[in-house]
Structure formats: structure tokens, C-alpha cells
Amino acid sequence: MKEMKTTIFKGIILSLSVLGLSLSAKAEDHVNENSNVSTKKVLVIGLDNVNSNYFPQSMITEETGIPTDSISYTYNKIITNNIIQSNKDKDYTFVSPVGSTEINEIIDDIQLKGEEEESYIDLSTLDNGEYHRLIDAANADYVLFLNQHYLKWQEKPLRTLFHFVSYSLYDKNQKEITKGNNYFTCMNLEKADKLSKASRKSSSKIASTVIKSIKK
């Protein structure tokens, strides 16, 4: 009789444990579902955009080893990856684009206005349907454009190379939310790995500024 009671008791405990695990799993799934729904996706797009007041692209290639036709791609990829990796806010996610005709079409049609490091995109002439196709294809809530990577060489008081990264943030309705630029410095033109390290802090500031602007 005692053994039967013990067996029944163990069975009840086991059943409760299984039920608890099941409820816990369902609750976790529910939380994950909710977090996925509430997470805002920011698509990061870099333009064909490396310019300088001093360095021609041939010199950039010579000093860095980056092929001339890959300079903009390499610089944009470095900044984009740093933005993605620096973000710690679980309510937001930054994503790099997967090659598509929508992105190529938009890049070809975007105009850049301004001078030197103060250059920003103008989407006023961009077709709304074209922009919305991009948003829908990426399932994004916002688009962060890396407008320009401007290499500004300064001789005095110290020989310094300023890397200005200009950016603009737009929402689903093609409305500008914020724009600005951030910079980091190097002594010379750097290869891709060193450029990645040098730009981490600056890229992190861009990510945090974008998130703060969305939250306002």
C-alpha cells in the first residue's frame, strides 16, 4: 500500500513537472512571438559614395590594396557590419541588404546634395512605388542610407585623415526621420581590417543615434 502511494505521488509530481515545462515553453514562445512582432527592422544601404578632398581612388587602391571598383562596397560593408554588431537594443535590428533589383534601381535614382562632408541624399524625386517595393522586399520598417564616406585630409596643425560618414534615416512612408554625420580619424589610409577597428566607435554612435531618433 505504501509503495502504491509512493508511486501515485511520483506520478503526480512527474505530471506537474511536465505540465510546468509545457506552460513555460508556451509562455516563452509567446514572449518570443511578441518580441519578434515588436522588433523594428532597419535596412542599411550604402551608396556608391567614397569621395575625398585629396585622395583619388587610384591612391586609395595603392595604399589599401582594395580594388578601385570595390572601394565603396568595402567601406560600406565595414560600416554596416559595425553598426549591426554594435547594436545591443533587442527592440531594434539592423540588417544589410541582400542583392536585389529594387536596391540597384534606387541607388541609381538617388541624388546627393551638399558639399564635402555635409552631403545628404534627396529622395524627393524618387518614385514612391519604387521605395515601397524596396521596403516590402526587405520587410523593413526603416531605411538607413549611408550617403557618403568622405575622406578629408588635414595638413595642419597635425597631419590627420578624417573619415566622415554621412547618413539619413527614412521611415516606411519615405519621410526623413533624421540625418547627420559622424567621423573617426586615422593617420593614413588604412587597410580594411584596421579601418574596421578604427570605425567601431563611430559606427556605434550612428546606431544609437538612429534608435534614439526612432523612439522620439
Q: What is the pLDDT of residues 30-62, one digit of tens each?
A: 334 444 458 999 999 999 899 999 999 999 999
Percent above pLDDT 70 for the chain:
81
Indicate if the pLDDT at residue 12 is higher than 60.
no
C-alpha Rg value of the chain to the nearest Å:
24
Contact assessment for residue 122 and residue 145, using Cβ atoms and an 8 Å cutoff = no
Q: What is the pLDDT of residue 35?
A: 43
Indicate if the pLDDT at residue 17 is higher than 50.
no
Residue type, position 189, single letter: L
Q: Which of 147, 71, 137 shows the shortest CA–CA distance to 103?
A: 137
**Is the C-alpha dihedral spanning 9, 11, 13, 15 positive or negative?**
negative
Q: Which of 111, 169, 123 shows the shortest CA–CA distance to 144?
A: 169
pLDDT tens digits for range 79-124: 999 999 999 999 999 999 876 677 877 888 888 999 999 999 999 8
Q: How far is CA 46 from CA 6, 49, 76, 144, 155, in A?
A: 68, 8, 5, 8, 29
pLDDT bracket for residue 6 (50, 70, 90): very low
State how far the Cα of 2 lies from the Cα of 5, in Å rounded to an integer. Answer: 5
State how far the Cα of 169 lies from the Cα of 22, in Å rounded to an integer. Answer: 42
Biggest CA–CA distance in the chain, Å, is: 95
Q: What is the pLDDT of residue 40?
A: 97
Q: What is the pLDDT of residue 66?
A: 97
Contact assessment for residue 163 and residue 199, using Cβ atoms and an 8 Å cutoff = yes
Residue type, position 106, single letter: I
Highest mean pLDDT among 23-37, 118-132, 160-174: 160-174
Residue type, position 157, single letter: P
Buried b (16+ CB within 10 A) or exposed e, 175-205: eeeebbbbebeeeebbeeeebbebbbebbbb
- Of the given ranges (5-9, 65-69, 181-185), which has the lowest mean pLDDT? 5-9
Full-model pTM:
0.82
Percent above pLDDT 90 for the chain:
70
Left (φ > 0), alpha (ψ -120 to 50) or beta: where does 21 sit?
A: alpha
